Amino acid sequence: MPERPSVLLGDVLRPRTVHRGVVTALALMLESAAIESANPVTVLADFHSDEFFTSEAAARFTAMAAVHPFVAVLGTTAAATIPGLRSAVPERSSDGPAEWSLVIIGTEQATALIVRELHRMPGHFEYALTHHRDLVAAAGRSLIARLLPDPEVTQYDVPRPESS
């Protein structure tokens, strides 16, 4: 079955193809920066399944939840046991892309990492990383909608960055 593009990955942002280690290193770097941020940030992550929310990830998100006002994890039942961490396991469409997302946004930073496994290339992923505040906010709204679904809202408009 061919991979379908998501709203951000492939439609608005041009993805890059890399080995799993690269996206893991990027996510670790971003999560560490969030833990160490002197300013409050909102952290939203979609792990897509329990298999990716390791004990190491749980420790990092526990640390973030201890210092930031809103930290949420989607896609794993294990996150529900962490104090201060908001979590949900939304229903998934079987025909949609299997994406993993990390959004970190605050007054001085905005980062979104969107990742999708490439089934045609085992061990490889497509990813996009952006600091464009409007795109990061749109990705964050999409994750929050899955955390606290509003039946009146089915989709958010994703702004397209203006060409420079």
Reply yes or no on whether the pLDDT at 28 is more than 50: yes
**Which single residue is written with the structure tokens 């990092």?**
60
DSSP classification of residue 2: P
Q: Which residue has the higher pLDDT, 16 or 71?
A: 71
Over pLDDT 90: what percentage of the chain? 39
Rounded-to-integer distance, Cα 23 and Cα 51, Å:
16
34 vs 158, residue with greater confidence: 34
SS3 46: strand
Q: Would you call 155 helix, strand, or coil by DSSP? A: coil
Torsion sign, CA atoms 36, 32, 58, 43: positive
Residues 87-141: pLDDT tens digits?
Answer: 888 776 555 556 789 999 999 999 999 998 887 888 888 999 999 999 999 889 8
For residue 156, the model assigns a pLDDT of 45
Q: Which residues of 83-105 are buried (b: 16+ CB within 10 A; e: fewer)?
A: eebbbbbeeeeeeebebbbbbbb
DSSP three-state, residue 27: helix
Quick one: pLDDT at residue 50?
A: 79
**Which pLDDT does position 96 carry in this prediction?**
54
User: What integer best gives the mean pLDDT of the chain?
Assistant: 81
Q: What is the pLDDT of residues 85-96, one digit of tens each?
A: 888 887 765 555
